[in-house]
Each structure stands twice: as C-alpha cells, then as structure tokens.
Amino acid sequence: MLVPLARPDITEREIEAVAGLMDSGILSIGPKVVEFERIIADYVGLKYAIAVNSGTSALHLIVRSVGLDRGKVMLTSPFTFVSSANVAIYEGAIPVFADIDEKTYNISPETLDEALEEYSRKGLETEKLSLKGFLPDLFMGVDIFGHPMDWEGIEAICQKYAIPIVEDSCEALGSGYLGRRAGSFGLAGAFAFYPNKQITTGEGGIIVTDDPSIAELSRSMRNQGRGVAEDWLEHVRLGYNYRLDELSAALGVEQMKRIDEILQKRRVVADRYSALLSKIGGVTVPFLEDYVTSMGWFVYVIRLDERIDRGRFMDQLRENGVQCREYFRPVHLQPFYIEEFGYREGSFPVTERVSRQTVAIPFFSNLSPDEQEYVAQVVAKTVERVG
C-alpha cells in the first residue's frame, strides 16, 4: 500500500466553479476574490480580510503594515516554518526566539516571560549579534500544527512588556481558543491555503484584522502600492505583486462552503490515529490543552522516544509505502540563520529536542480507515525493529 503524506479534499463542486470562470474573461482582480475575503472575515469574526498569493506574503504585509523595519527586533518561535521569521528579515529587522512548551510545541506564557526577562536583562550575544538589554518591537505568535497558543497568558505577558502582537495562524484555520477563532488575536492574523492545509486555493493566503489602517495598507501593498482609487499607473507607496487570482479564489469560496464538513473529517482521522497509535510504546500522539475548544487539524505529528533512531524509522516507513517528513527543523539552526546571525545548538533546548523526535505521518481529510490501520501497523513494526 502507498499512503501519501497529504492530499487536498477537492470535489466536483470546486472543479465546476473553477472551470466556470474560464468563460467570464475575469481571471484576476474580480468578484471571486472579494467573495472569498468576505467569507473568511465572517468566519473568523473580524471586519477585514485581504487575500494574497501565499501565507508568507500575508505575514510579510502584516509586519510591514505594523511598522516593523530596519534595526527593529521581532520575537517568534524557533519551531515553525521558516517564513514566520523570514518576514522580519525582509524588512531589515532581526528575528529572535523564545523556546517552546514540551507538550503543545508552542511558545507558552512561561517560556515567553523567561525569554523577555533574559533579553531585557542580558541582551543577546552570538558570533554575529551583539544586542545589549532590549525588548522586542513585535511578537509574532505561532499556532503550531493548528494548536492555538495560550492566548490569555500570552496577551498578559505582552501587555506587561508593552509589546504588540500579530498572529501566524497559517496552520490553524478552524481552531478555537476558549471559543474564539484562531487568527483573531493581536493586531492581525494570517492563514495559508497550500494544498496540505485545511482548505486550499492551490497557492494563497489571507490577512485578517479589525484595524482599518492595516487593511488599507495591505490592500495597497499587495497590488503594487496602488492607492485606494487603484489607479493602474499611480503607485503611492512601495508595493508587491502579491495578488490572489480569481481561479484560486473561486476554489477557496467552494472550499469554505464545505469548511465544517472538511474540519469534521479531519477530526475523525486525527481521533482514529490517536486511538491506534497511543497503544504503541515509544510513540507519543499530539496533545491538546483544555483551552482548545476546536482543533483545525493541519498535520498529524507523532513524537518518538529518544532511543528510537528517527532516520532509520523514517526510511523504514518509506520503504513500506508510508510517506513521512520531519516537522520542523529549528529555524535558528537553518544554515542561513547560523551564517547570518550566529545562532548555535543549545540556544533553545526544548525546540532542538522536539525537532529531533517529531515525524509527520500521512494525514488528510479522506484518509481511509484501512490506510490508517496500515500506517499504524507499519509504525508499530518499525518501532520494534529500530527502537
């Protein structure tokens, strides 16, 4: 059996919607983008949504809109996809990090407070950085794998230090913290719609906010810096070609009409995995805090006991037709970050330990019970072999 790592949940409805646009003659800057934005804004419960061509573009426009620029410092998680930190570098800012919680893999109020106290007292010294006592100019919180951060605690810590918040909710569409939607915390949030996400637009992302200034700036900058009138040859500020096309938006509209169905299917798959895999010694299944009132599952990541050779484990899974991937490599230990900023191993020990032990296994809405049974059998046999 070959079980792929991910597969989008596409029906005839989505195919017909996209194909139907071909006769309209409007493939960019049209009504489908506006419709998609309205659906997302209403779903999250915020006033504005600005669709763009990727989650990375969404995060970039957010940090630019809130004034992060050269020489400023942004704090985020070292256990995330690299774009969470890269967008600070785009603006000449410096990314710094706080370690994560052992169970949720998110920055916790405790680890955030510890990091801020350390940075304010000692600063940061590496081979390439010399920052005396400082506080970050911005905190980008990441809801890793769809699990919301402990937002009440995070907001209290950031208020204590007067640090503004933005939310990287790119992996968390449909997740909820004490009944409030992910993406609605801080000044603005972002979602991404790559094919392995909860819903897909192929490539795409979106900014959500209640702040009219962030919304206006983001709309302008995604469209080459044009002003409110969108005069095609007038550019009032530096901008980018970050627009989402009509075909992608049409796909997104139809996906959002099915969002409850899609999320429920993913919950069933996740629950079934947890029941199957929690019986296997040496394997830890994902943990959900009590404050998670809904979980928009993005990926299903297991954690191996330290005695298990992860490389051999993953090789065995692939040899048996089970696709898998390490999730994630620490951002601060990416080659570019080591070279540019001088980060080294030992800086964030929990992140580094978790990163060595985590594996994403096949996960998508229409993963069948038979496929999951097969994955669980392969995992169990492989743990016996390489453990």
Residues, the chain: 387
The span from the CA of 149 to the CA of 151, in Å, is 5
What pLDDT shows up at residue 280?
Answer: 97
Q: Are strands 189-192 and 165-168 parallel, antiparallel or unpaired?
A: parallel
What pLDDT shows up at residue 230?
Answer: 86
Among the listed residues 290, 40, 49, 48, the one whose alpha carbon sits nearest the alpha carbon of residue 152: 290
The span from the CA of 54 to the CA of 290, in Å, is 31
The span from the CA of 86 to the CA of 266, in Å, is 30
Q: What percent of the chain has pLDDT over 70?
A: 100
Threshold 0.85, pTM exceeds: yes
What pLDDT shows up at residue 347?
Answer: 95
φ/ψ of 189, rounded to 5, equals -130, 170
What pLDDT shows up at residue 63?
Answer: 98
Quick check: helix, strand or coil at residue 385? helix
Map tokens 């990375």 to a residue.
56
**DSSP calls for 166-227:** EEE-TT-TT-EETTEETT-SSS-EEEE--TTSSS--SS-EEEEES-HHHHHHHHHHHBTTB-
What pLDDT shows up at residue 165?
Answer: 98
Helices (H), the chain: 12-20, 31-44, 55-65, 83-90, 109-122, 151-161, 212-222, 246-257, 259-277, 310-319, 335-341, 349-357, 369-386
297 close to 377: Cβ distance less than 8 angstroms: no
223 close to 245: Cβ distance less than 8 angstroms: no
> How many CB atoms within 10 Å of residue 187?
17
Residue spans of the chain under pLDDT 70: none
